[in-house]
Chains A and B, each alone.
Chain A
Amino acid sequence: MSSRIFGSGIRRREDPRLITGSATYTHDIVLPGMVHAAMLRSSHAHARITRIDTEKARVAPGVVAVYTGADIEGALQPVPCAWLLPDSQLRIAPYPCIAKDVVRYTGDIVAAVVAETPYQAQDALDLIEVHYDPLPTVTDPEKAAGDDAPQLHAKDINGDDIPGNQAFHWTVAGGGDLDAAFAEAEANGVVIKERILQQRLIPNAMEPRGAVAQYTRATGELTLWNTTQNPHIVRFLCSVVTGVPEDKLRVIAPEVGGGFGSKIAVYPADFVTVFCSKTLGRPVKWIETRSENYQATTHGRDHVQDIELAATKDGKITGLRCTVHAGMGAYLSTAAPGIPTILHGLMLSGCYTIPALKEDVYGVYTNGVPVEAYRGAGRPEATFMLERLIDMLANELDLDPADVRRRNFIPKFDDGHEVVTTLNYDSGDYPGALDKLIEHTGYQALREKQKAGPSNGKYLGLGLSSYVEICGLGPSQVAGAIGFQGGLWESAIVRFHPTGKVHVFIGASPHGQGEETTFAQIVASEIGVDAGDVKIFHGDTDSTPMGWGTYGSRTTAVGGAALALAVRKIRDKAKVLAAHLLEASVEDMDYEDGKFFVKGSPDKAKTIQDIALMANVAWNLPEGMEAGLEATTFYDPPNFVFPYGAHLAVVEVDASTGQVELTGYTALDDCGPQINPVIVEGQVHGGIVQGVGQALWEGAAYDESGQLITGSMLDYALPRADLLPELDVISTVTRSPHHPLGVKGIGEAGTIASTSAVYNAVMDALKPLGVKRVDMPFTPERVWRAIQEAKGS
């Protein structure tokens, strides 16, 4: 079975606990003597706090303690930003765990209550009186950068001013003479200009965030259960903020109910929960409500993009110039500065040969929730720019969008291709992917159907999106060079027990992606044990080796590689021991499917189980060999991996109502060899739907005073089952030349491609109606208005 387990869609081992309600999420942790915390969040988006009166709350039934900003002073350091973007005039504003003087968004904590029950804690919040002096607010990133915008922060952490609310200004430029390219295009070619609003999105992992902190005074030890994608980073930063030394700090990510980027950051409320436990000497639980999640857990996107594309008359791109105002929210969240820059700007040339480009990204403080990674993180915003402008170019030149893509694709390559932003893509066949998609979907026939005109007032639209993305983050040396304050390697420990059963301890921290199953498949395929004999441990910093977290589609790509290499070390040792036991020389040994034998004599083989027993009892080891059968690997990838693909969305737009219906969707993705194709397909489904959500329904909105008006699931439109068609998912397989298993990543691909595919499809449908531009999401009202405006003009 072992050779076939790689590539097999076996059922997930995670599922039995999840489908029976036996899994333990953070909210499910109950400890003796535990009390409950609730956070009072600011009622203003920007205000000076003039007075806080907590007396009534303190004496309310069940209340154990009430803390304000004054109480944590000295005990909790500001929340650190851990991506120090170089050469960007980075200005990190102090990010307090509890706001003391000024609140800067409605998620700022102004006080915390601890009570015997969650209801009592919640009740007591209403008894805290906070007096505010409101200040002017700004939530639009471009306006926030303007001269007359209210200034959010007096000084950054180094005591410097933060003029124009500018958190950073980052530039990427490469290739030839960009000005000349645009001058030439103005004279003899075409220049396409567009403004794209990548609206703010709310990640909406179905499990709200939370923390349970248990501090033991006698030992000074702290255990923190936390809804996180990266428990080791939490341990690292929690130690910095709370002062609990790393060796006394255990972070456990139990079952985690999705993250999509929103559980990467470290958060004030989690540290406040730690503070409460330390101060009271009791276990403290804090679980956010969904409304609180909207109000204070990181959001995504929020770009105002101004883009210009230069091209020849026959549709060859000659230059790309962009300015992005990226809303950062009130503070710089943990990884925030790297998202609209490194993960965005460096991918700006996508699947295409672009001779010259430049992008300026302004990170701007606004009175909103801090913006962080959200599925795709920077790459959907880059893909969207290109894919949208290419469609506009096709319209301008009256060419089919597929043809314009073909005219600009990087030709097929299988061992490295350096692009204009200096990244070295690993392998890809972008023209091949598009051709296959077009053939599979009957694209030409759909175009013919479209030519027949609307039926029943419904306009058909087709939207393509070709993408390549960067994931498998990444070489640690590069991490250092781009200012990421951590490494990006992964590690795994593989331990064989005497009966041949295996324990794997891994630093990666999957939270729904199914990698307990995928990892077991890797072990089984590498050394011929049954996948069912392999137990995977993750998410507990006391038992697992260091890991840098599950995000950026890196867990199978980097953690999986570490694991495969650890198993290969074991295989090497097992081979030496088998040779010794068979009285042969190592060079004469062969290995197949968990059996070690002298070449030509497979019948006299030692199985890996035999070897595990002999290594563990150690009665007869070769000279110098250590007992046991265990290996540890630290895998630092030599490069990123670059999955790619092409998607097609088909929509119908009802011109009389503005209603958009997604009627078909086909995704072709290439993430290299698939360890478990069923899991891969599931990742693609989920990813696509999140991207579709951005195009059609989702968007966080603030009012003039900085109040979040999409503050609950009632107001924020999430994709639902009845709004979606059956998705058609196909794939090709291109190995990564530098990866031990050849695999790339798949967690974000769907989201990266689908927003632009759907957007292009809707605009394609609206083309005969003369509509040029609509901001996402395509609500019926917006589409209808755009149609009316086009009619009027």
Chain B
Amino acid sequence: MKVPVRITVNGRLFEREVEPRLLLVHFIRVFAELTGTKVGCDTSQCGSCTVLIDGVSAKSCTTLAVQADGANVTTIEGLADGEKLHALQESFWNKHGLQCGFCTPGMILASHELLRTNASPSDDEIRHGLEGNICRCTGYQNIVRAVKDAAEATAAADK
């Protein structure tokens, strides 16, 4: 049995017939052909698969495609404004907030959520805000620096 879904990914509408069990992450990777969203685990622990659903972060490995029917999904590929990187992308780059880059799309989108709900987080708040995302390379320190930097850059730009 297949069910029709309409999901907009980074502004492009995808209308597909899918199995009800299809995970959103696979919809994104296979049907929308956007492979920036990563799968790092099978128990909803690592956060590599984090995307924004209608602007709010979600683990796309724990969301069914049918649950996202009608939604607007933003993936890492949709974060920059054309050539212009998002403040978080810039800050992860500037602060060496990534090494192998595998956790990075999820980490950036989880940070996006963090800053959406708290525009100027303390180090501690950043560390707690990212506890659902695992990075094995960086030891997190430069990720904390990057999120802080993005918060400051965004605040400065808004002034």
Contact = CB atoms under 8 A, between A and B. Distances in A.
Interface of A: 9, 11-12, 14-25, 27-28, 30, 118-119, 204-208, 255-258, 260, 289-291, 511-514, 678-679, 681-682, 685-690, 712-714, 718-722, 724, 726-727, 750
Contact of B41 (A12, A290, A686): A290
Contacts of A688: 139
B62 interface: no
A712 B42 contact: yes
A30 B29 CA distance: 11
Contacts of B48: 206
A472 B69 CA distance: 53
B104 to A, nearest CB: 5
A685 B137 CA distance: 8
A635 B144 CA distance: 39
A682 B142 contact: yes
Interface of B: 19, 21-22, 26, 29, 33-43, 45-46, 48, 75-77, 79-80, 85, 89, 92-94, 96, 98-105, 108, 123-124, 126-128, 130-131, 133-144
Contacts of A511: 100
A28 B103 CA distance: 15
A722 B77 CA distance: 28
A206 B131 contact: no
B102 A257 contact: yes
Given A19-B101, A21-B35, A21-B77, A119 B19 contact: yes
Given A19-B93, A21-B37, A257-B101, A689 B140 contact: yes
A20 B144 contact: no
Contacts of A257: 38, 100-102
B134 A718 contact: yes
A38 to B, nearest CB: 13
What are the nearest 10 A-B pairs in CB distance?
A21-B36, A512-B100, A18-B101, A257-B102, A689-B139, A685-B139, A21-B76, A713-B45, A28-B35, A290-B41
Given A19-B104, A721-B131, A206 B136 contact: yes
A700 B134 CA distance: 18
Contacts of A30: 33
Contacts of B45: 712-714
Nearest to A204: B136
A686 B141 CA distance: 9
A14 B130 contact: no
A512 to B, nearest CB: 3
Given A20-B76, A206-B135, A724-B127, A686 B40 contact: no
Interface of A is mostly: loop
Nearest to B142: A682
Among A23, A204, A718, A721, chain B packs the most CB atoms within 10 A around the CB of A721
B68 to A, nearest CB: 18
A670 B77 CA distance: 39
Contact of B96 (A24, A291, A678, A714): A678
Contacts of B130: 720-722
A77 B113 CA distance: 50
Given A290-B42, A678-B96, A722-B127, A205 B136 contact: yes
Contacts of B35: 21, 24-25, 27-28
Given A9-B96, A12-B93, A712-B45, 5 more contacts: A11-B96, A206-B40, A257-B101, A686-B137, A726-B141
A427 B36 CA distance: 44
A720 B134 contact: yes
A19 B141 contact: no
B36 A712 contact: no
Contacts of B141: 685, 724, 726-727
Given A22-B77, A258-B100, A714-B45, A16 B93 contact: yes
B139 A207 contact: no
B136 A15 contact: no
Contacts of A19: 76, 85, 89, 92-93, 98, 101, 104, 108
Contacts of B38: 25, 27, 206-207, 257
Given A20-B85, A682-B138, A721-B126, A206 B92 contact: no
A20 B134 contact: no
B75 to A, nearest CB: 7
Contact of B140 (A208, A290, A724): A724
A35 to B, nearest CB: 14
A166 to B, nearest CB: 33
A15 B131 CA distance: 23
26 contacts: A14-B101, A17-B101, A18-B101, A19-B93, A19-B108, A21-B35, A23-B36, A206-B38, A206-B100, A206-B103, A255-B100, A258-B136, A258-B137, A290-B43, A512-B102, A678-B96, A685-B141, A686-B99, A686-B136, A713-B46, A721-B127, A721-B133, A721-B143, A724-B141, A727-B139, A727-B141
A25 B35 CA distance: 9
A12 B33 CA distance: 27
Given A512-B100, A721-B131, A722-B127, A206 B46 contact: yes
Contacts of B37: 21
Nearest to A720: B131
A779 to B, nearest CB: 18
A656 to B, nearest CB: 23
Nearest to A260: B136
A513 to B, nearest CB: 7
